[in-house]
């Protein structure tokens, strides 16, 4: 590989060959099947002679009459040429007499390592500066820096509801549906948030509404409709904000969350504020008919008819052990991990890319992710021949194929 000062991009691909091959076989297939595709000036040989492509590295291993590995191609071209070469190498479908499949993993900007060195040096300079100086200005700067650090999820109430630390100190609290929504709010810098974790409103949230102002931020689906109706009957909510129709709050970006809270983003229409409803005014005129007994009666009704549990699976021991290994590094990250049949990790990425990645990744059999299992994900997983999905909780699943099963981390005793 040429010196890192020359390399701009590192093209990483992975391959699978239906047979046992050597590095030389793979190199020969790459050069042979890409030669002449785009003219002589784009041949890998010519690009290497002009120092635009470095030494191609092949890392492989053979197992069960198959060969797996990765291809590393250092390049000093522009990103468009790097993408064209990556696509050409992906077209390789034979290595000797054996069928092969090549897939791009990433095009990495190598210059990022130099930027990291600069940032690390800047941190060292700041440490040296801090050790030599102590002033009121430094303390103020530290306060500002501390305010930008992301808060961690805490537990609230006897139900141990996922929440931000601001739920204890703020006069106003946002009510969301699940843990993933809480994590998203914390990424947006909003700490006064708590999740109800289901369509039944916990008693801790009901009690919270008697002490603080509440604003609900709910999904734009049927589950959000059910939670809104429940909130309307058991607790006073100042305002209800809804994600766009068909979208969940956890699908939004931190910027979109802030826009939603400021009223700058489109949202699903919801009920008007409580003060504007005529029937609410009528109830205020006759307070003796809206005192605490009806609320207690409603809560007792909910306890007599609990919400049905979603259909889940008994997770096999090998898969359960593998999930317990992954969970500590996955929990709270809003990321997903794909596992193949032997339970080897095939990829890790943000859950916002999960449906797309499942469509593109053949061979994935299990999805373990830090989020809510939705019908959209179930449909995509079924098309990709995935057999199991494990997440924090199960959403409104109306159509679960017989070939696909779902489970939660709670089923494994991880929550």
Model confidence pLDDT, tens digit, residues 87-131? 989 989 888 889 999 999 998 888 777 788 888 889 888 887 776
pTM of the model: 0.37
* Residue 310 included in any domain: no
* Residue 312 included in any domain: no
> What is the percent of the chain with per-residue pLDDT over 90, rounded to a whole number?
19
The answer on 241 and 104 residing in a single domain is: no
Identify whether the C-beta of residue 366 lies closer than 8 Å to the C-beta of residue 325: no
* Residue 32 included in any domain: yes
What are the pLDDT digits (tens) for 303-344?
433 444 444 456 778 888 889 999 988 888 888 999 988 888
pLDDT at 140: 63
* Residue 41 included in any domain: yes
Total tally of structural domains belonging to the chain: 4
Alpha helical stretches, state H, 166-310: 179-187, 203-211, 222-234, 254-262, 278-285, 292-304
pLDDT at 145: 61
At 33 the three-state DSSP class reads helix
Residues 11, 19: Cα–Cα separation, whole Å: 24
In the predicted structure, residue 53 carries a pLDDT above the cut 90: no
- The number of helix segments (H) and strand segments (E) in the chain equals 14, 18
Backbone angles phi, psi at 193, to 5 degrees: -145, 145
The answer on 158 and 241 residing in a single domain is: yes
pLDDT at 265: 62
Unique residue bearing structure tokens 């797309």: 356
Domain that holds residue 362: 317-412
* Residue 179 included in any domain: yes
Which of the pair, 70 or 146, is modelled with greater confidence?
Answer: 70
């Amino acid at each position: 590989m040429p010196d890192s000062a020359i390399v701009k991009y590192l093209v990483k691909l992975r391959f699978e060959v239906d047979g046992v091959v050597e590095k030389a076989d793979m190199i020969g297939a790459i050069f042979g099947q890409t030669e002449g595709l785009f003219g002589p000036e784009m041949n890998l040989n010519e690009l290497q002679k002009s120092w635009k492509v470095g030494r191609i590295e092949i890392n492989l291993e053979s197992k069960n009459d198959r060969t797996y590995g990765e291809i590393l191609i250092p390049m000093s071209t522009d990103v468009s040429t790097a993408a064209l070469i990556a696509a050409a190498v992906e077209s390789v479908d034979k290595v000797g007499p054996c069928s092969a499949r090549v897939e791009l993993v990433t095009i990495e900007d190598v210059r990022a390592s130099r930027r990291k060195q600069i940032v690390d040096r800047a941190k060292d300079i700041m440490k040296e500066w801090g050790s030599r100086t102590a002033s009121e200005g430094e303390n103020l700067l530290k306060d500002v820096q501390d305010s930008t650090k992301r808060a961690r999820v805490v537990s609230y109430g006897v139900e141990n509801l996922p929440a931000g630390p601001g739920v204890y100190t703020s006069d106003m609290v946002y009510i969301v549906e699940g843990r993933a929504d809480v994590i998203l709010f914390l990424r947006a810098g909003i700490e006064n948030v708590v999740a109800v974790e289901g369509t039944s409103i916990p008693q801790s949230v009901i009690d919270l509404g008697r002490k603080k102002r509440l604003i609900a931020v709910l999904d734009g689906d049927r589950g959000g409709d059910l939670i809104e109706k429940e909130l309307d009957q058991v607790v006073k909510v100042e305002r209800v904000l809804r994600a766009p129709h068909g979208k969940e709050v956890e699908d939004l970006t931190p910027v979109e969350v802030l826009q939603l809270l400021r009223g700058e983003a489109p949202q699903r229409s919801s009920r008007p504020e409580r003060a504007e409803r005529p029937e609410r005014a009528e109830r205020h005129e006759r307070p003796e008919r809206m005192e605490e007994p009806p609320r207690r009666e409603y809560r007792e009704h909910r306890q007599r008819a609990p919400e049905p549990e979603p259909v889940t699976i008994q997770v096999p021991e090998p898969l359960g052990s593998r999930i317990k290994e992954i969970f500590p590094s996955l929990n709270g990250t809003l990321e997903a991990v794909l596992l193949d049949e032997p339970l080897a990790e095939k990829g890790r990425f943000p859950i916002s890319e999960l449906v797309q990645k499942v469509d593109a990744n053949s061979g994935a059999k299990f999805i373990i992710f830090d989020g809510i299992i939705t019908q959209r994900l179930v449909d995509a997983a079924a098309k990709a021949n995935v057999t199991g999905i494990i997440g924090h909780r199960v959403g409104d699943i109306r159509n679960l194929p017989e070939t696909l099963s779902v489970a939660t981390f709670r089923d494994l005793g991880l929550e």
